[in-house]
Structure 1
Amino acid sequence: MDMARVLPKDCMCKILSLTTPKDACRSSAVCLALKNSADSDETWEAFLPAELEHLVAQSSSTNLNSLAKKQLYLHLCDHPLLLAGNTMSFSLDKESGKKCYMIGARGLWILWSHVPKYWSYASIQESRFPEVAVLHQVWWFEVKGNFNTKLLSQRTTYDVLFVFQFGSEILGFADTSINFSLNESGIHKSEGQVALYPPIIGVKQRKDGWLEIKVGEFYTEDEEDGGSILEFKLWDFDDYNEKSGILVEGFEFRPKSPE
């Protein structure tokens, strides 16, 4: 028996909304009756965050309210919303629908960034943010920030990713270990070291052309817990080696991919 033809559309939409966005997309290819339910606003409304209207109101994006819910979902996967004065972005993980956030360079604390001789901010076409941080010369390298985890999806393991590029002249990063640490509400979570250059071990090329490297992970509890403040830091000043040539886009919080 073809259940897609027997069950009312609202019933099919309810069933599909309890699956995943990936399953809903697959279901739309099964038959026309199922496609109508799988592509409907009733189904895709469940995959969009409850606070989306508030987020859209904060951003400079226009005409999003005119999109069908499935189109809106897919748009948010590939076109992050800029928030908090263009210092933070919001998007959705395409397969799971989990929330993703990224704090841009202007939303971070960067040592000596107020001194043009050491750091400057520039507009880069490939970046989602209006400006990224460009390192000219420092001996103490330190980039850090904090984030409230209540903004993220509940009961989810997140990766913390440092997003960056290198310019044409690189100094002080070759075969050098950069320290990182992660603290949650004052409790130490993890620490370690990563090598940013050459970009071989652990460094991945992103679809947007930037590089990323994982510097930690954490688990989000239920919303009733009120979230926690996540503090993250990347630094190196033990050897006082001169450094230059890195471009910092920011830190991203993205659901951990299945192994």
Structure 2
Amino acid sequence: MGAGASDLVVEEAAVPGLGDMPELCAAEVLLRLGAPDICRLARLNRAFRSAGAADFVWEAKLPENYGYLMGFVDGGEDEQGGQGKRRSAVGKKDVYARLAKAVRFDDGKREFWLEKSTGMVCMALSSKALVITGIDDRRYWVHMPTTESRFHSVAYLQQIWWFEVVGETDFRFPAGTYSLYFRLRLGKPASKHSGGRRGCGTDKSNGSIHGWDRKPVRFQLSTSDGQNAVSQRYLDDEPGSWVLYHAGDFVASEHGRPVRLKFSMAQIDCTHTKGGLCVDSVLVYPKGVHTEEVVVRD
């Protein structure tokens, strides 16, 4: 009886646990997960930790044009350029981690980053990267520093008759469908020196916010390969809240060619003035991915 109990103990001790999982099996599990879950499982045991550092796991999570994207980090835009050797020596996990942080270019007026869970590219263009009618005349527009913008500055419209904001970008987006938004707010933002307090001019009754209920704003989006979107929307959301106004969607092909985007928002009915609007940025997200309230086109 004692020998039988001893045999039972030996058999129980021989049963393998999760920590005995081969590294390749752990890697097969990680290949089916997003980056945040890979990092969580890597803390579980040695097999997942080792697999979670493997280049082939992270390369599968990177967009196919990650070499082109890393060119912006290295200070160039040619993935075949002189920085290639140094880049190839960096582990793919480190490449993913770097691209998941904002990569600034165009003198800091534009940036892109990888959405952590999907590995798809997001982009932001500041108000200073846009062509805004009357922006150089302080009677109409002023650049306001604020903590409410990722670029720490927004363009604030005081009053104007002809309202038009135009922009474009030429970029190699990984294959997929993307949505383009204008990030807007009725009323002044909090300034850098206000301790987070809301700025003045957030109440329609004081006259600072006016003209947006008379005519809708027209949003347009076009691409170099013939895609187009047009929509109209009244800017009638609650003053004091940042809102993403959906201008349209576009599809980036699988051939890796650059996509030239042109986009605009305009309200050019000169029978009345418009004012009290903040223009922060233009955002490009993978379709269905966004972090703020979105206004879709009518």
> Same fold by TM-score, threshold 0.5 exceeded?
yes
Q: Which has the larger radius of gyration?
A: 2
Q: Which residue of 1 aligns with 2:4?
A: none
Distance 1:54 1:187, change over 3 A: closer
SS at match of 2:247: strand
Q: 1:182 aligns with which of 221, 237, 242?
A: 221
Counterpart mapping for 1:1-259 below 5 A: 5-8=20-23, 12-13=26-27, 16-17=30-31, 19-21=33-35, 24-25=38-39, 27-28=41-42, 31-37=44-50, 39-40=52-53, 42=55, 43-44=57-58, 46-48=60-62, 49-58=66-75, 73=96, 77=100, 79-150=101-172, 152-154=173-175, 156-166=176-186, 167=188, 168=201, 169-174=208-213, 176-185=215-224, 187=226, 189-199=228-238, 210-224=242-256, 226-238=257-269, 240-257=271-288
Q: Secondary structure at the match of 1:50?
A: helix
Counterpart residue identity of residue 182, structure 1: L
The answer to which structure has the higher strand fraction is 1
The offset of 1:186, in angstroms, is 7.0
Instruction: Give the conservation status (yes or no) of the 8 Å contact 1:183–1:231.
Output: yes
Provide the C-alpha distance between the structure 1 equivalents of 2:161 and 2:128, rounded to a whole number of angstroms.
21
Work out the CA distance in 1 between the residues paired with 2:230 and 2:272: 21
SS in 2 for 1:160: strand
For residues 137 and 154 of structure 2, the distance between their equivalents in structure 1, rounded to whole angstroms, comes to 15
Q: Which amino acid aligns with 1:44?
A: W
Specify the SS of the correspondent of 1:36: helix
Matched residue pairs, number?
A: 239
Q: 1:229 to 1:98 in 2, by over 3 A?
A: same
Gaps of 5+ in 2: 1-15, 77-86, 189-200, 202-207, 290-298
Distance in 2 (CA, whole Å) between partners of 1:76 and 1:211 is: 26
Tell whether the 8 Å contact from 1:58 to 1:84 is kept in structure 2 after alignment.
Answer: no
Q: Aligned partners of 1:14, 1:52: CA distance in 2, in Å?
A: 27
Please give the alpha-carbon distance, in whole angstroms, between the structure 1 residues aligned to 2:218 and 2:251. 22
CA contact (8 A) 1:174 1:198 kept: no
Identical positions, percent: 26
Q: Do the aligned residues in 2 keep the contact of 1:176 with 1:197 (CA within 8 Å)? A: no
AA aligned to 2:169 is: F
Spell out structure 1 runs of 4+ moving beyond 4 A: 1-4, 25-29, 67-77
Q: 1:75 to 1:247 in 2, by over 3 A?
A: farther
Secondary structure at the counterpart of residue 223 of structure 1: coil
- d(CA) in 2 for partners of 1:107, 1:243: 22
Deviation string, structure 1 residues 31-70 (Cα, Å, up to 9, x no partner): 42453146426333543433454322349xxxxx9x9976
Partner of 1:44, secondary structure, is helix
**One-letter amino acid matched to 1:161:** Y
Q: String of CA shifts for 1:159-193, please: whole Å, max 9, x gaps.
A: 10111222223121247421111111273511111
Instruction: Name the aligned partner's letter for residue 136 of structure 2.
Output: H
> Any unmatched runs of 5+ in structure 1?
60-64
Does structure 1 conserve the Cα–Cα contact (< 8 Å) formed by 2:168 and 2:261?
A: yes
Partners of 1:243 and 1:159 lie apart in 2 by 27
Q: Cα offset for 1:76? A: 5.4
Q: Residue 249 of structure 1: CA displacement? A: 1.1
**Aligned CA-pair RMSD:** 3.4
